[in-house]
């Protein structure tokens, strides 16, 4: 039967909060769920309590919680149904959101106004994107941030959520962190799984791509002489992890070198294929090369590797939250990402995905009571962590879903092409990234004849207040430019004008 919002009589709000966390996590009975949600709202939203009670009533009527299935709630269909419904109801731009969302009404009107436009068509619609820009405090920063590939700012609603959770936690840290905020990890896992199109039992929540991928790299059993194939264009922290294993354990770490941009998938796949020997066990590939934004043909590499019995680790630090894909569709075995890049989650948040049948054989990087169990949670034994940051991920997902995966990807690609196509027309300015949609999205590398990346980056910052990232590494000498959905075309005009002035000197 649908559940209403009637609270049990003769209980104070404090008693209701206490009753919520006495129940097992995510096996709450009706009273427990009602009390838990009510308690959080009392803490955060007392001035607007009547409106939120109305939302809760709607929220609970949409959800049928099993009354006598506490023990079996963890992996039950009812539980998954509950969280799928709750995620929809708590969408960032939904009028039924539990917390006040910025620009919800205005955005809903804009979304309805342009609902018939395709993602490619809406990518250049500045009226639509102006509201997105307003949601980011960074959009009004005196320093133009074009290094979102390093770390992205969060929209205001994410910052507000983290602030709420942080204030709550600091009232009685161990009490509110472990008994209240920690109870949010399972619905967050469900939310991330929906975003990634995968099973929540394959998702571990951690702090960044380095932690996720190092867990996988150091967690796989390899013998002396076993080979791993990567490239010198992979991210340094991952390369160093493999080099450490080679130094310490005697595995063989082979690295390819690519001359980007490459606009032919087969060329890349063949280079990996030709490096394979009878001793090759793992291929490590970066989905989007962080230096110049090249999109690698991950699925084709995985298919080729699996034909030869080789597993594939994918570094998705610059793809998750930017490109429109589901993790299982890559056909990889392992995937790690940061959530504080294009998803705009709080800084210091990340995620790891391991194919279900591989979980048991991967050793946790940090201790666990049962390191060989097939439970993805064995990788989350981090001790005390920032619960406010972790729970802020949920609001970032809400915001991301409010825009839509494909719209976000197309907007980022439009912004990259907007400035890069103009820069290409300037004598002495070079673009080191493909502008074809299959091979790049938000990130591009630029250089000016006769100017080192370090000098170009420094001049852009000191003279024009434009923040970019200088890269002088192996065969790559560029300044990396990476706009985000809060970036305006006029911001990029500022960049192009600066490049033109500098190229003339």
Within this chain, do residues 290 and 212 fall inside the same structural domain, yes or no?
yes
Within this chain, do residues 394 and 245 fall inside the same structural domain, yes or no?
yes
Query: Is cis: bond before 261, omega within 30 of 0?
Result: yes
Within this chain, do residues 20 and 62 fall inside the same structural domain, yes or no?
yes
Q: What is the pTM of this model?
A: 0.82
CATH code of the domain covering residue 478: 3.90.1150.10
Within this chain, do residues 245 and 369 fall inside the same structural domain, yes or no?
yes
- Containing 243, the helix (H) or strand (E) segment is helix 236-249
**SS3 state at 135:** coil
Within this chain, do residues 411 and 376 fall inside the same structural domain, yes or no?
no
Within this chain, do residues 353 and 465 fall inside the same structural domain, yes or no?
no
Beta strands in 142-243 (DSSP E): 144-145, 203-206, 227-231
Query: pLDDT tens across 77-87, in order?
Result: 444 443 343 33
Select from 89, 115, 140 the last residue of a domain.
89
Within this chain, do residues 448 and 381 fall inside the same structural domain, yes or no?
no
Pairing state between β 203-206 and 469-473: unpaired
**Best CA proximity match to 439, nearest among 413, 415, 471, 408:** 413
pLDDT at 73: 36
Within this chain, do residues 309 and 434 fall inside the same structural domain, yes or no?
no
pLDDT at 107: 74
Within this chain, do residues 366 and 261 fall inside the same structural domain, yes or no?
yes
Q: Residue 232: how many CB atoms within 10 A of its CB? A: 14
**Do residues 249 and 195 make contact, with C-beta atoms less than 8 angstroms apart?**
no
**Best CA proximity match to 417, nearest among 492, 344, 367:** 492
Residue 119 lies in a domain: no
Query: pLDDT tens across 463-477, in order?
Result: 999 999 999 999 999
Within this chain, do residues 194 and 279 fall inside the same structural domain, yes or no?
yes
What residues make up the domain containing 25?
13-89
Within this chain, do residues 310 and 436 fall inside the same structural domain, yes or no?
no
Report residues of the chain scoring pLDDT below 70: 1-104
Within this chain, do residues 256 and 393 fall inside the same structural domain, yes or no?
yes
**Do residues 126 and 133 make contact, with C-beta atoms less than 8 angstroms apart?**
no
**Do residues 488 and 415 make contact, with C-beta atoms less than 8 angstroms apart?**
no
How many distinct structural domains can be found in the chain? 3
pLDDT at 220: 99
pLDDT at 346: 98
Select from 344, 365, 400 the last residue of a domain.
400
Identify the DSSP state of 360. G
């Amino acid at each position: 039967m649908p559940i209403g919002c009637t609270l049990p009589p003769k209980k104070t709000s404090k008693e209701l909060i206490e009753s919520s966390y006495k129940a097992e996590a995510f096996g709450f009975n009706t009273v427990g769920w009602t009390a838990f949600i009510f308690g959080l709202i009392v803490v955060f939203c007392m001035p607007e309590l009547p409106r939120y009670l109305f939302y809760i009533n709607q929220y609970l009527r949409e959800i049928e919680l099993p009354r006598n299935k506490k023990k079996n709630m963890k992996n039950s269909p009812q539980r998954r149904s509950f969280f799928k419904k709750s995620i929809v109801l708590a969408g960032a731009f939904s009028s039924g959101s539990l917390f006040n969302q910025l620009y919800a009404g205005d955005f809903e009107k804009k979304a309805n106004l342009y609902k018939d436009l395709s993602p490619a068509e809406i990518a250049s619609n500045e009226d639509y994107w102006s509201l997105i820009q307003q949601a980011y405090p960074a959009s009004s920063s005196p320093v133009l941030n074009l290094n979102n590939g390093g770390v992205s700012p969060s929209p205001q609603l994410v910052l507000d959520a983290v602030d709420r959770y942080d204030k709550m936690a600091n009232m009685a840290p161990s009490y509110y962190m472990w008994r209240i905020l920690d109870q949010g990890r399972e619905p967050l896992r469900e939310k991330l799984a929906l975003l990634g199109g995968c099973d929540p039992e394959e998702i571990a929540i951690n702090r960044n791509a380095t932690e996720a991928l190092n867990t996988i790299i150091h967690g796989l059993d390899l013998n002396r002489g076993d080979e791993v194939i990567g490239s010198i264009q992979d991210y340094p922290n991952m390369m160093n992890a493999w080099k450490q294993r080679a130094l310490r354990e005697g595995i063989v770490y082979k690295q390819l070198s690519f001359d980007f941009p490459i606009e032919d998938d087969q060329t890349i796949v063949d280079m990996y294929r030709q490096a394979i020997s009878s001793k090759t066990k793992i291929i490590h590939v970066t989905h989007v090369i962080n230096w110049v934004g090249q999109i690698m043909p991950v699925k084709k590499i995985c298919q080729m590797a699996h034909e030869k019995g080789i597993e594939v680790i994918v570094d998705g630090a610059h793809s998750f939250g930017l490109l429109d894909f589901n993790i299982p569709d890559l056909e990889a075995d392992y995937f790690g990402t940061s959530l504080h890049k294009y998803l705009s989650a709080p800084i210091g948040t990340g995620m790891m995905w391991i194919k279900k049948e591989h979980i048991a054989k991967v050793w946790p990087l940090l201790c666990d009571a049962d390191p060989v169990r097939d439970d993805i949670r064995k990788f989350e034994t981090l001790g005390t962590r920032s619960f406010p940051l972790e729970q802020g991920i949920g609001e970032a997902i809400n915001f991301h879903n409010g825009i839509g995966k494909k719209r976000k990807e197309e907007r980022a690609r439009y912004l990259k092409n907007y400035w890069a196509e103009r820069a290409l027309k300037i004598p002495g300015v070079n673009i080191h990234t493909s502008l074809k949609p299959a091979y790049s999205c938000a990130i591009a590398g630029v250089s000016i004849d006769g100017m080192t990346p370090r000098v170009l980056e420094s001049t852009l910052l000191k003279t024009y207040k434009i923040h970019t990232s200088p890269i002088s590494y192996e065969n790559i000498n560029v300044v990396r430019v990476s706009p985000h959905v809060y970036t305006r075309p006029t911001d990029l005009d500022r960049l192009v004008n600066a490049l033109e002035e500098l190229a003339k000197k």
